[in-house]
Structure 1
Amino acid sequence: MSEREPFTLVRITGKYGGSVAIELDESMAPGVPDTSGELMVHNDFVAGVHHTYVEPYDLASWEHVLDEVEAGRDAVWREHARVAEIGIRLVDREEGQDQITVTVADQQTTRVAISLEVNRGWIDEQRGLLHGIREAWKHVHPTAFR
Structure 2
Amino acid sequence: MEDRERFTLLRITGKYGGSVAIELDESGAPGVPDSSGELMVHNDFVAGVTRTYVEPYDLAPWEHVLDEVEAGRDAVWREHARVAEIGIRLVDREDDQDQITVTVADQQTTRVAVSLQVNRGWIEEQRALLHGIRKAWKHVHPTALR
Deviations for 1:66-87, whole angstroms, at most 9, x for unmatched residues? 0000000000000000000000
Q: How does 1:42-53 map to 2 (within 5 A)?
A: 42-53=42-53
Where does residue 4 of structure 2 map in the other structure? 5
Q: TM-score, normalised by structure 1?
A: 0.96
Structure 2: which 5+ runs fail to align?
none
Q: How does 1:27-38 map to 2 (within 5 A)?
A: 27-38=27-38
Question: Are residue 84 (structure 1) and residue 84 (structure 2) matched?
Answer: yes
Question: Are residue 133 (structure 1) and residue 133 (structure 2) matched?
Answer: yes
How far 1:3 sits from its partner (Å)? 8.0
Please say which of residues 108-117 and 136-145 is displaced more in the overlay: 136-145
Where does residue 72 of structure 2 map in the other structure? 72
How far 1:15 sits from its partner (Å)? 0.1
Q: Which has the higher helix share?
A: 2
Identity score, percent: 88
Deviations for 1:13-45, whole angstroms, at most 9, x for unmatched residues? 000000000000000000000000000000000
The RMSD of aligned alpha carbons is 1.2
Q: TM-score, normalised by structure 2?
A: 0.96
Q: Distance in 2 between matches of 1:41 and 1:144?
A: 25
How far 1:4 sits from its partner (Å)? 3.8
AA matched with 2:101: T
How far 1:144 sits from its partner (Å)? 4.3
AA matched with 1:127: R
Q: Distance in 1 between matches of 2:59 and 2:83?
A: 14
How far 1:5 sits from its partner (Å)? 1.9
Q: Distance in 2 between matches of 1:52 and 1:85?
A: 10
AA matched with 2:81: A
Please say which of residues 31-40 and 136-145 is displaced more in the overlay: 136-145
Q: Counterpart of 1:117 in 2: which secondary structure?
A: strand
Deviations for 1:81-117, whole angstroms, at most 9, x for unmatched residues? 0000000000000010000000000011100001000
Q: Counterpart of 2:104 in 1: which secondary structure?
A: strand
Q: Is the contact between residue 56 and residue 143 of structure 2 (CA under 8 Å) also seen in structure 1?
A: no
Q: Distance in 1 between matches of 2:4 and 2:131?
A: 16
AA matched with 2:21: A
The alignment of Structure 1 onto Structure 2 pairs a total of residues equal to 145
Q: Counterpart of 2:59 in 1: which secondary structure?
A: helix
